Structure 1
Amino acid sequence: MKKLKHMKKNITLIFILLLQVISTGQDLSSLNKLVDKYQKSKLFKNSTWALHARYLKSGKVILDKNSEVSVAPASNMKLFTSTAALEILGEDYKFSTKLYYDGSISDDGNLYGNIYIVGGGDPSLGYDLVKSALPLDELMQSWIKAISAKGIKTVRGNIIADALLYDAKPIPDMWDWIDIGNYYGASSTALTINNNLYFLYFKPGNKGEAAEVLRMEPEVPGLTFTNYMKTGAKGSGDNGYIYCAPLQYNATLRGTIPAGVDEFSIKGSIPDPPLFAAQKLMSALQENGIAVKGKPTKLINLVIYDDSKMITKTISPPLKDIVYIVNKRSDNLYTEMLLKALALNVKGKGDIESGTEAVKEYLERNGINSDGLFMYDGCGLSRSDAITAKMMVDLLEMLTKKKHFDSFFNSLAVVGDPGDIGYFSSMGRGTEIEKNAHIKSGVITGVRAYSGYLKDRKGKTIIFSLIANNYNGEGSDVSFVHKKIMIELAKLN
């Protein structure tokens, strides 16, 4: 009798185990069928579609397709740059921008010398994407207060911008002409201010009619426009582009903005951010009753500053808050600034090439094979950038063991979280990935990517990277498929 009960228990146990195996098998089968179905579809038939997913704890591979083929990652590249910065610079690292004067200050308030704005590579200077950073006007007021506290009433010399901490090449060589005049193609200079952008406001007409330029905020002295901007259909959104190279002051406007609104703005990149900083400070001084007899200009040769003549110092928010903007808002300028900071810290030279070398060394030092990595910038805007899906997952796995992991993880978008930013706040609502998947997206023409973490039904962490290049259809169609794959991953037992 006891033997019979024992047999029944064993049979029950075997039955339960079989059900679990069948259940898991069905989940994997569903995932594989989904991928196979879309691989044969018109959308992906001629594309390069790289997929890799595995369990964090066991390392068991769940999904693997073209995972060691180099593909363009778009903004997924930011994960390499931002995590290298967290490890090498430290999550509490801060940048500083300093104001100095030279010459002497007379008893009646005349500065017989110049004022220098010395850039320290702070991407947040004068723009409050990071909450603790001062916006442009408040920054100017803080500087004017410090200048006044020195007893300066008249500046007999110039306002000089010093951006020599980093090299003179403002943008990567491999960026496209269509991008560089727009805010997301802004120059990464050691003295950056107002996110190196301006807003350009238009008055739309009827569909097909010209769109009139109304104003620029902030005003960039000397910047003019050749305007070919047209009015598109109502609700057509921002399809306007600003074509302008760094250091050039005539921009060409093309594309469309939507009809049906009183005014519509697009964002452009300031042609010469250090010069703009000097111009802005000079203007603010004059508006506040401090005369400037010289002009705004830029430093050409290195100067050794006298610390006793430092007027003030503006300290950035901690690096972890800057990385939050890099990944959560996918800010290209912030990322390129971090790349140059890495270059200076690791290689002693603040240039793009030294920065990419520093990132590759960081990967190798952490046991990640960088074969298949082609890095021409820090943010992924270059269409020549390439990574592998497996390399991305290797990076995400390695990061879970780092002390700065929480700072990194918090910078990822949380799918379906109403408190998150933009599209992701409504993505995946009512599905297994709602408030479960933490991801970084990547979007440029012909590229759609999602990489990150999620948990399956048993609470086990899955790391994944889904990257599509040169698909035949809309990017939104690819993102929809990638969302379905994430949902299937989250359904696994």
Structure 2
Amino acid sequence: MLAMPKSAPRLRFHSPVPAALLRRRLASAVTAAVLTVFGVSTVQAAPAKPAKSSKSAKAGKAAKAAAAAGATAAVASRARAEPADPAAARSGLPATVTTALRRANVPLSSTSFYIVKVGAPQARVSWNAETPMNPASTMKVVTTFAGLQLLGPEYRWQTSLYADSQPTFDGTVNGNVYLRGSGDPKLVPEEMAKLVAKARTAGASTINGDIVLDRSYFGDGLNGGDYTIDGETQRAYNVNPDALLYAFKTLSFTITPDAANRSVGVAVTPALAQLRVDNRLTLANGRCGDWKTRATPSITPQPDGTVVAAFDGNYSADCGEHIVNLATLSHSDFIWGGFVAEWQSAGGRFQHPPGLRSGPVPRGAFLLARHHGQPLSEIVRDINKYSNNVMARQLFLTIGAEIDRNGPASTEKSARVIKRWLTRQGLDMPNLVMENGSGLSREERISAYDMARLLQQAVASNVGPALLDSLPILGVDGTLRNRLTRANAAGNAYLKTGTLADVRALAGYVDALNGDRYVVVAYINHPNASAAQEAHDALMQWVYKGAQ
């Protein structure tokens, strides 16, 4: 056995978990929309009973007159308390929407709407439409439409495996192997297994060297340190982009109580060679309580290079099965551990524990295998249906790198490329601000009018069907699967949603009952935006009924 090079850290690795577990598909992190129903009840006066005498009749008339006067006074009082909103009348919005906004204490001045029938010269509703607004995740519509047109629906990312030398007659690769990535947003274990299988088919069975990561396709400084929009550094949606993103850089722990064996099982995906699970959970009876505290491990790197995910305490059988997603470890450690685990799972061996290095693939390196990821049309579905931020950021950076090949990817380059593309299509947007293309930003801006123009252009384009197919369907799937499930509009609206702490947004298409298709864009930028879902729900139903 050869000694480990001095430059490579000594890392101990463990036998991988069973292959069946390795093949489990990672679920994208999805924020479920919660439907809030606002009921309006009206108390009706009981019908008057027939009069039994003239006295009672007179008394009844007097009572009716008094009741009518009281009702008139009550109406007048309400009118004084709630004066008609001139802006609501000017907006062109239905009363159901403006009333819902008032209930949420959101002023119309903090909203923006644009509703237009596809192909129509004039909008049905245009309110604050040219005001730049924070669009939250509806910005993904701009990124995905640009990607589909500039790269093509069949575009596939490449991940390559090189070596210092060709495999020998006995399958030994003497020297280092090099993983080079191009920003594949969905390089998950199933895809890594295909790359490894190709290398094994090429004759490689034993690696006598270290793993070198070539991440140069993306420029430096994209990780942003520990900065996140909300301070939640271990949340999957806050993972930063990387040319060698593996499994969203997120560990998914499945905690399952087993009443028959009086135990609690813990499974993890993806398998990482250096990861060890220390499960000390004990099954308890009684109410579930705060299951997250017990189901969230402490993850601690060890001096020998291993990483321990420790679970401790009681876990009630009443809690049932739960999944905890944690974005932890560095991009380099994550993909190193994933590759080593997949190599071992496929029967591959290492002459000595492989070290981890970073650097470019040297000239003349031997190509062991190349894997093409899933087509962009499939990636776009994941991005929009489930509002996957890290995948959107990977696509955004790829657009700039592929169209402008002068140097590695950068956010500035991608923003320039997309703005040029928009201008060429007659969609010049001087107020458009794209920071990362995902909408997970306090800086990104677009107007409802510009978003509507883009949606009109998209639906008429050659990639219109692919974009439409990627949008969540109201009451059916994606981020709209739990919205208005029993309403007539369910199944007839295709809209990207967007939510931040002070933003609520919708952008897409609604098919009306009469067969017309409408472009619908609705933005709320206000501290009470989270309470205004009813307004957007009412808008979708109104448009479905023909915007009348």
Normalising by structure 2, report the TM-score: 0.69
**Pairwise CA distance, 1:53:** 0.9
What residue in structure 2 maps to residue 360 of structure 1? 419
In 2, Cα distance between the equivalents of 1:471 and 1:234?
33
What residue in structure 2 maps to residue 491 of structure 1? 545
8 Å Cα contact 2:91/2:125 also seen in 1: no
What residue in structure 2 maps to residue 73 of structure 1? 135
Residues 152-167 of structure 1 aligned to structure 2 (within 5 Å): 152-167=204-219
**Pairwise CA distance, 1:282:** 2.5
Letter in 1 for 2:534: F
1:124 and 2:124 equivalent?
A: no
1:372 and 2:431 equivalent?
A: yes
1:462 and 2:518 equivalent?
A: yes
What residue in structure 2 maps to residue 481 of structure 1? 535
What residue in structure 1 maps to residue 528 of structure 2? 472
In 2, Cα distance between the equivalents of 1:238 and 1:439?
32
Among 335, 339, 345, the alignment partner of 2:402 is: 345
In 2, Cα distance between the equivalents of 1:296 and 1:391?
50
Task: After superposition, give the CA deviation of every residue in 1:206-251 in whole Å (9 maximum; x if it has no partner).
Answer: xxxxxx99675335577899xxxxxxx968897999999xxxx999
In 1, Cα distance between the equivalents of 2:321 and 2:487?
38
1:149 and 2:201 equivalent?
A: yes
Letter in 1 for 2:151: L
What residue in structure 2 maps to residue 9 of structure 1? none
In 1, Cα distance between the equivalents of 2:432 and 2:317?
43
**Pairwise CA distance, 1:397:** 0.8
Task: After superposition, give the CA deviation of every residue in 1:87-141 in whole Å (9 maximum; x if it has no partner).
Answer: 11011111111111113544444322111111122112225xxxxxxx26xx33x
What residue in structure 1 maps to residue 322 of structure 2? 264
Letter in 1 for 2:212: I
Identity of aligned residues (%): 22
Task: After superposition, give the CA deviation of every residue in 1:284-318 in whole Å (9 maximum; x if it has no partner).
Answer: 43452512425242433453354xx2222211121
Seen in structure 2, the aligned counterparts of structure 1 residues 75 and 213 have a Cα distance that, compared at 3 Å, is farther
In 1, Cα distance between the equivalents of 2:395 and 2:146?
9
Seen in structure 2, the aligned counterparts of structure 1 residues 75 and 238 have a Cα distance that, compared at 3 Å, is farther
8 Å Cα contact 2:415/2:434 also seen in 1: yes
8 Å Cα contact 1:189/1:274 also seen in 2: no
8 Å Cα contact 2:210/2:356 also seen in 1: yes
8 Å Cα contact 1:415/1:437 also seen in 2: yes
Letter in 1 for 2:387: S
Please report the RMSD computed on the Cα atoms of aligned residues, expressed in angstroms: 3.6
In 1, Cα distance between the equivalents of 2:461 and 2:298?
42
Letter in 1 for 2:507: S
**Pairwise CA distance, 1:412:** 0.9
**Pairwise CA distance, 1:383:** 2.1
8 Å Cα contact 1:159/1:296 also seen in 2: yes
Aligned length: 429
Among 374, 381, 390, the alignment partner of 2:449 is: 390
8 Å Cα contact 1:375/1:386 also seen in 2: yes
Which structure has the greater CA radius of gyration? 2
What residue in structure 2 maps to residue 59 of structure 1? 121
**Pairwise CA distance, 1:203:** 9.0
What residue in structure 2 maps to residue 297 of structure 1? 356
8 Å Cα contact 1:363/1:370 also seen in 2: yes
What residue in structure 1 maps to residue 337 of structure 2? 279
1:335 and 2:392 equivalent?
A: yes
8 Å Cα contact 1:175/1:381 also seen in 2: no
**Pairwise CA distance, 1:28:** 11
**Pairwise CA distance, 1:70:** 1.9
8 Å Cα contact 2:213/2:359 also seen in 1: no
Higher mean alpha-carbon deviation, 323-332 vs 169-178, is at 169-178
**Pairwise CA distance, 1:428:** 2.5
